[in-house]
Amino acid sequence: MNILYGHELLVPAPAKVNVNLLITGKRADGYHSLDSVMQKIDLFDTLRITLSKDPGIHLSCPDSDLPVDRSNIVWRAAEAFLQAVAAADRIGVSIVLEKKIPIAAGLGGGSSDAGAVLTGLNRLIGAGISAAQLIDIARPLGADVPFFVVPHSAVRARGIGDEMVPVPSLVDCALLLVNPGFSVSTAWVYKNFTLTRVVKDSRLFDSQKNDNLSSGRQLLFNDLESVTIRHYPEIAALKSYLLENGASDALMSGSGPTVFALFPAASEEIYRCAEQLKKKYGHGVIVTQVIASSSPA
């Protein structure tokens, strides 16, 4: 291994939205199996990672209330990687996490940060860990983490999010994110989800062609949305407002509470809508775009 001690690596960690999300079952280990199309978007946290010869993990999160110990998924990701390459007793890791993605918002911020740690350490330590091995390390950290260790901008993920095939990114659209300012626990949402579909779930996806994601009105749906909306009806009101003000479609991402809306590319409506919503939600309103597919699906 060619270990780059003292070299600071800046790793961007993108947010994601779930273009669609179906819960297809519950496994014996307590995890839910899913079928979801996930899309990376142009909203990033940044991680500054440095290696030293003094063993230990040191994490700081300036301007954030996030914990800086093992209860933080970033810390656990560093630990998992060092253990995987048998280097925990001879390599120290210092991480500075600069947050831009809202916390507990359904945008995958924590999972993306963990994925960035895994890919960043792979580069700094020169471990040569393959994509399949990175997914193996990522899998126990959380269902979304495997998505953030692969280079694809959009995937259809099944299993617990670790069985992925690339799909085309959304095109010809802009995204408006609206975070209403409260956090939602992913564990709480899954605990309160009642599985009501079995066979027809996969048919919903199989009836789509991949290019349906990039033309016309998108086929957006999210099984978890009804759970979160029952306790936070403001999400339903946000969706209605967005649809009434130029959005072609709107959906809660992940377990929520962030709602994202699709607008035509170069649309003036998205900026008018954003300005109105900023009066209530301030910095929780973000105009962004998708990260384009890095390679054909």
If asked whether residues 157 and 187 sit together in one domain, one would say no
If asked whether residues 146 and 283 sit together in one domain, one would say no
CA proximity to 35, closest of 157, 215, 193: 157
What pLDDT is stored for residue 213 in this prediction? 46
Helix ranges (H only) for 199-292 are 200-206, 225-231, 234-244, 268-281
Residue 249 lies in a domain: yes
If asked whether residues 27 and 134 sit together in one domain, one would say yes
Torsion, Cα of 137, 142, 143, 149 (10° steps):
-40
Residue 46 lies in a domain: yes
Catalytic residue, chosen from 144, 201, 223, 249, is: 144
- 206 as an active site residue: the answer is no
If asked whether residues 28 and 77 sit together in one domain, one would say yes
**Domain boundary residue, one of 133, 166, 199:** 166
Global confidence as pTM: 0.90
Q: Provide block-wise average pLDDT over 10 residues at a time, the chain (297 residues).
A: 92 97 86 92 98 97 95 98 95 97 94 98 95 96 95 95 95 96 90 65 46 51 94 96 96 96 93 97 97 65
Residue range of the domain that includes 261: 173-288
If asked whether residues 206 and 248 sit together in one domain, one would say yes
If asked whether residues 33 and 97 sit together in one domain, one would say yes
Token readout for 76 is 């656990």
- 144 as an active site residue: the answer is yes
Neighbour count for residue 169 (Cβ, 10 Å): 22
If asked whether residues 119 and 196 sit together in one domain, one would say no
* Calpha distance 247→174 (Å, rounded): 10
**Measured at the alpha carbon of residue 91, what is the angle toward residues 137 and 12, in degrees to the nearest 5?**
55
What pLDDT is stored for residue 96 in this prediction? 98
If asked whether residues 58 and 102 sit together in one domain, one would say yes
The count of domains in the chain is 2
